[in-house]
Structure 1
């Protein structure tokens, strides 16, 4: 693979919640980058069954940052697992360098990844960040306990309250959690030599340098792909377009990683993973080696992207929100709980 062009990375946009005024303020740890893609690419390593592959993954796993995602989640209030062997992973994402980012510590992206018992596919369910839901009360009792946008749960109670909120909304038990900063995808995409994106229409970015994206398939470097994934105001469905663009980028990265030979070339894979392993942040019980075995057959063509059922947008007071289609959502997430893959996929069409 040719040596990818190097791109100069702009300074990160400061998260408003990282630095609180005052002498004794303690910076909030920035979310690590590239978690989803790094994990999926590493999981494809050499069929997952080789001894050398297992030793390699163990060495990578020792560098992964862990988060205590479930310690403050009361067990008595959690939904029970229905389909034994299936797995549900909550992926929480932010875009810390988005020029429009004013959300502080709220999550820009919420994905419930369902891995069926047979691990032959994966369904990635995007929950719009403005979905109006019941947020449980935070551990200290100072926040929550009322309806709000779903992404408020992270700001109010961190990962544990986010887990509680998603479980309450979906009735699906969360097995694992990972976090990713979409701004970190730039390095991944450039390491792959770019990705191919099929733009649904021609449009111009609202952010400098105001790129023009033409309709159809085109190769994008990291900066361009990130710019594309942030666009929403040029589309009648707003943030739903942004969700689609993020889904396209995730799938294109996975496809490029496999087709570009990085998975089958130990040298390229080692360089790629070593550059991103420190960016991974997962819960304390997730095993990279087990995931590698589980996901060794996963490819872009058996990934299905679905958006949680909604009734569209509206207003609650002064807030612009997304209203869940509660009836459809109930049957949809019941299919997820039962590991009924055909029902899940058909509901997403």
Structure 2
């Protein structure tokens, strides 16, 4: 990727997005800051590092937006991690992750909006445009906040910054995090190596390799394939990890005071917040999150389109699609669409090769992405004998399954109570010929599965897909 004019290109070995660390610490501590430990937590939370910032919008108590920044600073690294991260080669810090945590007290809902680091914007306080992460590198949090407000129009009430040092500790403190991985996966740059698919328990070290992965590869129909979604794919994996971390931290912390104390200690050590965010603000967020199911936190990504400027690959905001997200964060605009108005970008899909054809999951995934759906991951199904394409949906996600089925009118649709990682799983059958250009009428899709063809195609390798999805 070429450097933009006037900007020195960062080293290729940048650490990836760390936001999930700060998010998990922030939300976990917030959720747990209730009950008999209130007084203790007020004292501990008062020890968090603070930075004085201007231009923050006053928090009126109804809608709160917290700008979450993952810094790639190597300053606190030591040992093998320092060597792997190239501590001696890279100085300073960059905002390798930018997200907005949105809490709506009136609707009792929350969302996390990811802002891609390569978003091309006008840098606040300058006469030039560049990638948004350079605003943090050149002017720190103040310039980043103003750049977000000027270019996106999102009101920012509070600021939080983290580096990655606490990541391993918090994963290990809650006893690891279980993630369903549908295919063998690897990334030689991050050290990721998953030989067998299924429900994988990540500890601090392996979890770091998972969330760091930018050169993600998965095994499908006999060979390794590169994930073409790059940073967007990583955002999807990390957002899923956030949900799981929140769930595990809440369950572990509420039942084990020692775990709670370790989580709070990690948060105090590794988080910096704006000086306007008081302990009372944190407690207020705690009350909002106490009854919130982590699975209901909406994970959003700012809609963008690729562009080349000055020989560099960047992203430009898709204003028409992004405006609804921006309005939501600002607490204005019409209410969210109901189930009958599901947008493709609201649907997270896992695509599995169920017919054994070369790259069937990869091709179908590209078709769905072209139609606007979010493809979370791809791999082999449990076997290659699916004669008919099947759509399985998680409990409560029938509307999202139907939105996909309109493009696949011959597919079988059924509920899968074990499905938790994504909204919908699409298993590509022998009948798959692509998505229809014009969605089919709203006739109810078939809900009765067709008996699979037990004759395996000849000349193809055995699938390495996981068995029927475990509850993880």
Query: TM-score scaled by structure 2?
Result: 0.58
1:252 aligns with 2:223: no
Q: Equivalent residue for 2:106?
A: 118
Structure whose CA Rg is larger: 2
Alignment match, 1:141: none
State the aligned residue count: 303
**Aligned partner (choices 212, 216, 224) of residue 206 of structure 2:** 224
User: What residue ranges of structure 2 are gaps of 5+ in the alignment?
Assistant: 1-9, 12-17, 75-80, 216-225, 347-472
Identify if the C-alpha distance between structure 1 residues 341 and 257 changes in structure 2 by more than 3 Å, giving closer, same or farther: farther
CA distance in 1, matches of 2:270, 2:338: 31
- How far apart are 1:236 and its partner, in Å? 0.4
Equivalence map 1:297-316=2 (5 Å) = 297-311=291-305, 313-316=306-309
Which residue of 132, 136, 154 corresponds with 2:120? 132
Q: Tell me, yes or no, if structure 1 residue 271 matches structure 2 residue 262.
A: yes
In structure 2, the residue matched to 1:291 is: 285
Residue 278 (structure 1) shift: 1.9
2:149 to 167, 175, 186: 167
For residue 3 of structure 1, what is the aligned residue in structure 2?
Answer: none
Alignment RMSD (CA, Å): 3.1
Match of 1:207 in 2: 189
Offset at residue 54 of structure 1 (A): 2.4
Structure 1 residue 99, shift from structure 2 partner: 4.0
Deviations 1:219-250 (A, max 9, x none): 11111111111212231011111211221222
Q: Secondary structure at the match of 1:166?
A: helix
- 1:88 positional shift: 0.7
Task: Give, in whole Å, the separation in 2 of the partners of 1:270 and 1:169.
Answer: 40
Q: TM-score, normalised by structure 1?
A: 0.77
CA drift at 1:310: 1.1
CA contact (8 A) 1:195 1:219 kept: yes
Where 1:133 maps in the other structure, the secondary structure is strand
- 1:198 paired residue among 154, 166, 180: 180
CA contact (8 A) 2:99 2:113 kept: yes
Is the CA contact 1:179–1:282 (under 8 Å) kept in the aligned structure 2? yes
Equivalent residues in 2 for 1:300-339, closer than 5 Å? 300-311=294-305, 313-338=306-331
Distance 1:99 1:170, change over 3 A: same
Distance (Å, rounded) in 2 between the aligned partners of 1:214 and 1:256: 23
Answer yes or no: is the 8 Å Cα contact 1:90–1:174 preserved in 2: yes
Shift of 1:209: 4.6
Question: In the alignment, is the contact (CA less than 8 A) between 1:230 and 1:245 conserved in 2?
Answer: no
Q: Deviations over 1:148-203 (max 9, x none)?
A: 10111101211011111111222121001111223531110011111011235432
Q: Cα distance 1:284–1:161, how it changes in 2: closer, same or farther (>3 A)?
A: same
Give the deviation of 1:208 after TM superposition. 6.4
> What corresponds to 2:271 in structure 1?
280
Is 1:53–2:41 an aligned residue pair? Answer: no
SS in structure 2 opposite 1:274?
helix
Query: Structure 1 stretches of 5 or more lacking a match?
Result: 1-15, 18-30, 138-143
Indicate the SS of the match to 1:63: coil
CA distance in 2 between counterparts of 1:200 and 1:121 reads 30
Instruction: Say whether the 8 Å CA contact 1:116–1:341 is kept in structure 2.
Output: no
Closer, same or farther: CA 333–208 of 1 in aligned 2, 3 Å? closer
Q: Is the 8 A contact 2:19 2:99 kept in 1?
A: no
**Which position in structure 1 is the counterpart of 2:132?**
150
For 1:127 and 1:39, how far apart are their aligned partners in 2? Answer: 19
Q: Which structure would you say has the larger RCO, counting Cα contacts within 8 Å and 6 or more residues apart?
A: 1
The residue number in structure 1 matching 2:429 is none
The SS at the match of 2:154 is: coil
